[in-house]
A = this chain, B = another copy of it.
C-alpha cells in the first residue's frame, strides 16, 4: 500500500475509445499539503463526459495531456487530512482522478461530503446519489421546470442519468417515454424503471413513435444524446416546450463529424427553449436533490441498477464498454486494494 496506481492517457482518443488509448502508471502516494486531504478512492464513476476530455481538444475543461491521469468523479475515504473540515474516515464525492489515492481540497469540483446511510450501499453515492442522480433531478427541475401532468421524453433512458430522470419524472406525476437502442433496454426501462413506454431509435421512426404514444405532444425532452434523436424530437415538442441539453453522446465518438441537426426551425415555430447545463453550475442545488433522492431510495420507489467492474486495471475496459452503448444502469469501477 505504498504505491499509487494511476490510469493515464496513452494516446488521444479518435472516434470510439479503445483500451489501447489508456495505460497504467505507478508512483508514490502523494502527501497532502496545508488545506488538502488525501483520499483512498473506492469507486470511479464511468461517465460519457470523460470522452470530451481525452481527445486533446479544449472544451469546458482543459484536455488531459498524453501521459496525464484521467480525470473523473470518484467516491473515496479520507485517509490523511491537513484540512480541518475533512476528517480521516469521512467519505467524499468529487471530481478526482482514476488512481488509488487522490489529493483533494475544499474547492474541488463537484465536492460533496457523504454521510452514507445505513442500508444504502456506498456505491449508490457514485451514481443514483452522485452525479447521475443530481444531474437528472436538477436538470428536470432547474432547467426543465418540470410540472405534474406534463409529458416527458428521456433519451439514453437505460443509462445512469436517463434511468434516474425517467423515474424522477414519474415521481413528479408526469407521463414518461424513454428512448433506447435495443428491445432489451426497452423492456428494461418499462418493467424495472416504470417508464410508461419505450421507443427504440434504431428500429422505430422516432417522431412518429413518440407522437403515437403521446399525441398530446412533448413538454420536456431530457436529451442525453443529441444527433438524430434530438433532430426527430424537435418535431414532437409542444409550444413553449423545453429541451434539457444534458449531453450529446451520439457525437462524442465523432467529434470531427458531428451529426447534423436540420429541424432547428422548430425552435422558433414552436417557441422552444433549449438549455445546456453542467452540474457544477448548480452545486448549491445538490444537497436538496440528494435529500429527496435518498428519501425515495429508502422508500423503495426508485430502482437503482448498477454495473460494477472490479479492479482499477479494468477501468479503461469499463469506460469503453459504456461508450459503446452496450451497458445499462450505472457503470462504475470498484477500486481494488493493492
> Which residues in A have some Cβ–Cβ distance to B below 8 Å?
52, 59-60, 226, 230, 239, 245-248, 251, 255, 258-278, 281
* Copies of this chain in its oligomeric complex: 2
Determine if B268 and A276 form an interchain contact, defined as CB atoms under 8 angstroms apart.
yes
Determine if A268 and B261 form an interchain contact, defined as CB atoms under 8 angstroms apart.
no
In the complex, chain B residues whose CB is within 8 Å of the CB of A264: 226, 230, 245, 248, 258, 261
Which residue in B60, B258, B274 is a CB contact (below 8 Å) of A274?
Answer: B274
Determine if A269 and B230 form an interchain contact, defined as CB atoms under 8 angstroms apart.
no
* C-alpha gap A88/B300 in the complex (Å): 69
Residue of B nearest to A251 (CB): B265
Which residue in B248, B265, B266, B272 is a CB contact (below 8 Å) of A265?
Answer: B248
Max count, chain B CB within 10 A of own CB: residue among A262, A266, A269, A276? A276
Report the minimum CB–CB distance from A5 to chain B (whole Å). Answer: 31
Residue of B nearest to A226 (CB): B264
Determine if B268 and A278 form an interchain contact, defined as CB atoms under 8 angstroms apart.
yes
Determine if A248 and B268 form an interchain contact, defined as CB atoms under 8 angstroms apart.
yes
* C-alpha gap A45/B36 in the complex (Å): 65
In the complex, chain B residues whose CB is within 8 Å of the CB of A260: 260-262
* C-alpha gap A144/B251 in the complex (Å): 28
Q: List 17 A-B contacts (CB under 8 A).
A: A59-B269, A60-B270, A230-B264, A246-B268, A248-B264, A248-B265, A248-B268, A258-B264, A259-B262, A261-B262, A266-B276, A267-B276, A271-B277, A271-B278, A273-B274, A273-B276, A274-B274
Report the minimum CB–CB distance from A269 to chain B (whole Å). Answer: 5
Determine if A60 and B272 form an interchain contact, defined as CB atoms under 8 angstroms apart.
no
In the complex, chain B residues whose CB is within 8 Å of the CB of A275: 267, 271-274
In the complex, chain B residues whose CB is within 8 Å of the CB of A247: 268
Report the minimum CB–CB distance from A235 to chain B (whole Å). Answer: 12
* C-alpha gap A260/B248 in the complex (Å): 16
Residue of B nearest to A270 (CB): B276
* C-alpha gap A130/B35 in the complex (Å): 61
In the complex, chain B residues whose CB is within 8 Å of the CB of A259: 262
Residue of B nearest to A239 (CB): B60
Residue of B nearest to A247 (CB): B268
Report the minimum CB–CB distance from A277 to chain B (whole Å). Answer: 6
Known: A271-B277, A276-B268. A258 touches B262 (CB 8 A): yes
Residue of B nearest to A60 (CB): B269
